[in-house]
Structure 1
Amino acid sequence: MFIYHDLEGKKVSLSFQPGNFPIPSRHVLVIASYQGETLFTEHRERGIELPGGKCEDGESLHVAAAREVLEETGAYIEDLEWLAEYLVEADEPFCKTVFTANVKEFHPTFSPMETTGAIVLPLREILHRSNASFHMKDESMKKIIGRVIDGE
């Protein structure tokens, strides 16, 4: 387990083993591979980040992951695999599950809700982008991205 404080000063615990946290995960983040690169989205306020979000009532993590990727990028995913979880000890603590996936079908000409749409980049490039979301710059993302790159 890797424990640190994020850029907002919140304690974060990252695990690459399932079931290590006392609260269930209800948030998702997806690292989706598309033509040898990675699918990102550009949040209107935060910048470039991986697609993800919260589960809706009655929704499984897998369904939420697929829905969030579609809503934020216009991509349909397949081969969804659990990679990691992290617990953020905020005012309302939450646990987020990180998945990897492959893009099955991509229709970037959709009407994005809270994002400006999809961006496709090499995964390691996000660590050096000045317009990357603060979420992409914390220590857990560096470890998660390193794990994915090492696994390639």
Structure 2
Amino acid sequence: MKYTDLNGLPCELSFVPGSFEIPSKHVLVIAKHEGKWLMTDHPQRGIEFPGGKVEAGESLEAAAAREVYEETGGVVEKLEWFAAYAVYDEPAFCKTVFAAKVERIDSVNLLETKGAVLKETLEDTGNFSFLMKDPGMLKIMEKVKALGKWED
């Protein structure tokens, strides 16, 4: 699926592994905990899924679990590749999207976010980050809801 993100950049989303030649160096995690969506509250952007950059020598899976923990305190129990998308900026980059089940939420010292937000639905109540509103993210949320990933 080709689309333009809310920054005006051309993007491409795929639910097929290996669709992009650009190495993925970013992760996004669509997680559930006790039947609720686990999100984080970014101080500037608002409510969004946890994610970030892969550190040197780190696998995508390790980065995904680390980002969930650092941004929410969530301890990942199950993690599965779900999608990837490329953003054709200068330079272009690719982000891998994982579906996850979170075992528990620890109390952690958060540096970048205000912590975990548990939501019954993925409906925007006016406080979602702009990142949650572009066509690619809307398609990801539609597909993950339809699959019922990690239902308890």
Residue 147 (structure 1) aligns with: 143
TM-score of the pair, normalised by structure 2: 0.94
Question: The residue matched to 1:14 in structure 2 has which SS?
Answer: strand
Structure 1 segments (4+ residues) deviating >3 Å: none
Q: Which whole-Å CA distance do the structure 1 matches of 2:121 and 2:138 have between them? A: 11
Q: Is the 8 A contact 2:13 2:84 kept in 1?
A: yes
Q: Is the 8 A contact 1:30 1:69 kept in 2?
A: yes
Matches within 5 A, 1:16-95: 16-95=15-94
Q: Identify unmatched segments of 5+ residues in structure 1.
A: none
Residue 118 (structure 1) aligns with: 116
Question: The residue matched to 2:62 in structure 1 has which SS?
Answer: helix
Residue 3 (structure 1) aligns with: 2
Q: Which residue type is aligned with residue 106 of structure 1?
A: I
Question: The residue matched to 1:23 in structure 2 has which SS?
Answer: coil
Q: Which residue type is aligned with residue 94 of structure 1?
A: F
Q: Is the 8 A contact 1:77 1:102 kept in 2?
A: yes
Change (3 A) 1:123 1:99: farther
Q: Which whole-Å CA distance do the structure 2 matches of 1:51 and 1:94 have between them? A: 18
Q: Is the 8 A contact 2:74 2:105 kept in 1?
A: yes
Question: The residue matched to 1:131 in structure 2 has which SS?
Answer: coil
Q: Is the 8 A contact 1:66 1:76 kept in 2?
A: yes
Question: The residue matched to 2:86 in structure 1 has which SS?
Answer: strand
Q: Which residue type is aligned with residue 84 of structure 2?
A: E
Give the aligned length. 148
Q: Identify unmatched segments of 5+ residues in structure 2.
A: none
Q: Is the 8 A contact 1:52 1:69 kept in 2?
A: yes
Identity %: 51
Q: Which whole-Å CA distance do the structure 2 matches of 1:11 and 1:151 have between them? A: 27
Q: Which whole-Å CA distance do the structure 1 matches of 2:122 and 2:110 have between them? A: 25
Residue 106 (structure 1) aligns with: 105
Q: Which residue type is aligned with residue 112 of structure 2?
A: E
Question: The residue matched to 1:21 in structure 2 has which SS?
Answer: coil
TM-score of the pair, normalised by structure 1: 0.94
Q: Which residue type is aligned with residue 3 of structure 2?
A: Y
Residue 79 of structure 1 and its aligned partner are, at CA, apart by 1.2
